[in-house]
Amino acid sequence: MPRKLFLYQLRTLLAISGIWLLSGIVFFENLIHISNDLGVEINFFQFSITFGIIGFIITAALIFLLKPAFNHYPVWMSTLIKLGLTVLIFVIIIVVLSLIYFSLIYPNSFQEFITSFLKKILQTHTFFSFLIDMALMTLFSIILLEVTDKYGPGMFWSMLIGEYHNPKKENRIFIFLDINESTTIAEELGHGQYFLMLRRFFSDITMPVLANDGDIYQYVGDEIVVSWKNTPENKLKSLKFIRNTFFLIERFSKTYEEQFGYVPRFKAGVHAGEVTAGFVGEIKRELIYTGDTMNTAARIRSMCHDLDESFVISEEFMQDFETPVNYTIEEKGTMEVKGKQEPVKVFSMNFANGNS
């Protein structure tokens, strides 16, 4: 698994496990402390830590095993399957912990242990309530992972804390990237196969996005828009994203040819400038960026065809930025941009062989 993807998933795992730990504290106060009918003494600290560990195991199973396994199922079906499997995981955990307890601590026979375990644990109201609480927390974790997937790394938390509740000005880098000759390919493949190729393409280039700390702003048809905050470091990362994506698709070209008969090569326009960011919508919340920067970035992408270049960069992006090693950036002159009075100076970009 790519390191950046693993670190992102690990951060998500730890964040949700922390919520499970806090929930364990609440459940102890409202469940164990007030109405405990278990035949054993329950310690506050041990209960909270145990609940957190159970949450860690269940969330890890959701992220690393169940989510990829059932990603293409309908949401309702995948949710039910995940809930059922996590309950099974929980039962296995209980059995394993109980056997460890029996083998290390319990002084009587195994038959007496089973009888005591059934009466004092499994058949109690407290355990049943605990099972319901665990199922609700699992459902919450599944929904949280789905929402995080919807808004992208970090964006859900930004929405949660209200970072974009009011319009906010930002200076950002944008890359508008789309597939070459998409109309021709769609006609040749048919819409169904073309959609599958797009889904594979967008899935593959997620790795370069994560590796270079980009934010996926939106997908529009065969186009993806990736963004960074405008810093010299992120300018380099944005160019590395294009480079990494190019060589990744080249590496997978044989499998694309075998599966679809086409390799989804692409063009990209790169621009930077000030935008206004904020959430809009009442029944469907969406983060949008507005301003001249967005219109210009889209126009620069369309210049790739006019200039017969794969990658075109704006003068604004090149400000306070030196061409890195293994990249060739050449001035291509000024171009008229619809909606702008002044022409825009643009540059083409190419890079040497390699994937770094």
Instruction: For residue 218, give Cα distances in angstroms to 174, 176, 222, 281.
Output: 11, 10, 11, 16
Provide the mean pLDDT of the chain: 86
- Do 94 and 193 fall within a single domain? no
**How many CB atoms within 10 Å of residue 63?**
18
Does 129 fall in a domain? yes
- Tell me which residue of 8, 354, 71, 355 sits closest to 214, measured CA to CA: 8
All residues at 6 or more sequence positions from 275 whose CB lies less than 8 Å from its CB, including other chains: 169, 170, 171, 172, 289, 290, 291, 293, 294
Does 356 fall in a domain? no
- Do 162 and 138 fall within a single domain? no
Q: Which residue has the tokens 């960026």?
A: 289
| Pair 343, 336: CB distance under 8 Å | yes
- Do 79 and 137 fall within a single domain? yes
Domain range spanning residue 296?
155-351
Structure confidence by residue, pLDDT tens digits, 5-19: 788 888 889 989 999
Structure confidence by residue, pLDDT tens digits, 294-322: 999 999 999 999 899 999 999 999 998 98
Mean pLDDT of the region 278-304: 89
Does 52 fall in a domain? yes
CA-based radius of gyration for the chain: 26
Q: Which residue has the tokens 């000030």?
A: 274
Q: Which of 134, 151, 168 lies at the terminal end of a domain, its last residue?
A: 151
- Do 162 and 251 fall within a single domain? yes
Mean pLDDT of the region 74-87: 87
Give the Cα separation of 58 and 50 in Å (integer). 12
pTM to 2 decimal places: 0.78
The reported pLDDT for the residue numbered 1 is 46
pLDDT bucket at 43, cuts 50 / 70 / 90: confident
Q: Which CATH number goes with the domain that contains 161?
A: 3.30.70.1230
- Do 147 and 227 fall within a single domain? no
pLDDT > 90? residue 164: no
- Do 201 and 219 fall within a single domain? yes
- Do 171 and 90 fall within a single domain? no
Beta bridge partners of 274: 171
Structure confidence by residue, pLDDT tens digits, 248-263: 999 999 999 999 999 9
